[in-house]
Structure formats: structure tokens, C-alpha cells
Amino acid sequence: MITQERLKELFYYHPESGDFIRIVRVANRIHLGDHAGSLQNGYLVFRVDGKKYKAHRLSWLYTHGTFPPDQIDHINGIRHDNRMVNLRPATNAENKRNCGAPATNTSGHKGVCWHKSTGKWLAQIQVGTGAPKYLGIFDDIEEAAATYQAAALKYHGEFAHA
């Protein structure tokens, strides 16, 4: 596993931009001053000593000297934004709370779906494990979305997805 010392031998990390700049030439096609990494599933990824790493994890290592105990959350939800102000340690549950609506969502609002049998909007939120917590049925989609947002702030705190 890579160490902070080894990482600093090979790269300069700029915490305000989130960029890693190569300070050692490792191959003919890779030059000093090149930005490291390429996008994979929205994350910036690059190899160090033959092993692939996500840049946000290396940003944390570079700055703090160790990897976080669990995961790293991108506060603004942009997976390749590796500025230090955008990164925070998180559990898996916290990280999931800060996700947007799933691709299958048709309402356009996280936690809100159409309740076919009533012909109204249903708001619900995941709190812990098990079934989602019912927040109510609403005539107006905006009211359902606002109810979800208030519940997200209450139950998810700083990890509530805006």
C-alpha cells in the first residue's frame, strides 16, 4: 500500500484545485508537470507503483498522512472534484445519504414518487435499515419535495443531499 511519503515523491497535490501534478518522469509518454489521472465512472483514477487508486483517496492520504477509516464523501456530489474542501470522511450509510435521486426516479425529486392508487405524490426517506419512513401523501409535488428536504436535514444532517 502506498504511503504519504511515496506519494509526495511522485506527485504534487494542489488542495485548492484538487489536481495531482507529476514531479517524476516514469515513462516516455508521461512527462514532468503532467496532470495525473483519467476519468472512470466519474472518478479521477491513476496508477501509482502499478496499483490503481482513486484520486480522492490519495488527496486524503497526501493531506492527512493516512487513509480514512471507511469512505470519502464528495460534499458537492461531483466525483472528480478532489479539492480538499469538498472531501470528508464518511461511513457507507452517510455517503449514500449524500447521493442524488436514482436514475429510475421519475419525479425529479429525491424521496418523492407518484402514488398510483391515490393519484398523489408520496414522500418517504430512508432512516437506518429496513423500510423507508413514510412522510406523507401530497397533492403538490413541490410540497412533497420540501417535506423530504426537511426530513433529510433532520435525519441526515450535514449529509443531506440538497
Which residues are bridge partners to 114 per DSSP? 121
In a 13 Å sphere around the CA of 46, the CA atoms on its Cβ side amount to 21
Residue 145, C-alpha cell as written in the block: 419535495
**Lowest pLDDT segment from 28-37, 46-55, 109-118, 136-145:** 28-37
Taking alpha carbons only, the member of 82, 89, 36 closest to residue 59 is 82
pLDDT digits (tens, 9 = 90+) for 121-155: 999 998 877 788 999 999 999 999 999 999 988 98
Q: Please give the average per-residue pLDDT across 88-98, as a whole number.
A: 87
Tens digits of residue pLDDT in 4-19 = 999 999 999 999 999 9
Please identify which residue in the block is written with the cell numbers 401530497.
138
Residue 58: which H helix or E strand, with range?
helix 55-64
Are the C-beta atoms of 110 and 98 separated by less than 8 Å? no
pTM, whole model, 2 decimals?
A: 0.78
Q: Which amino acid is at 14?
A: H
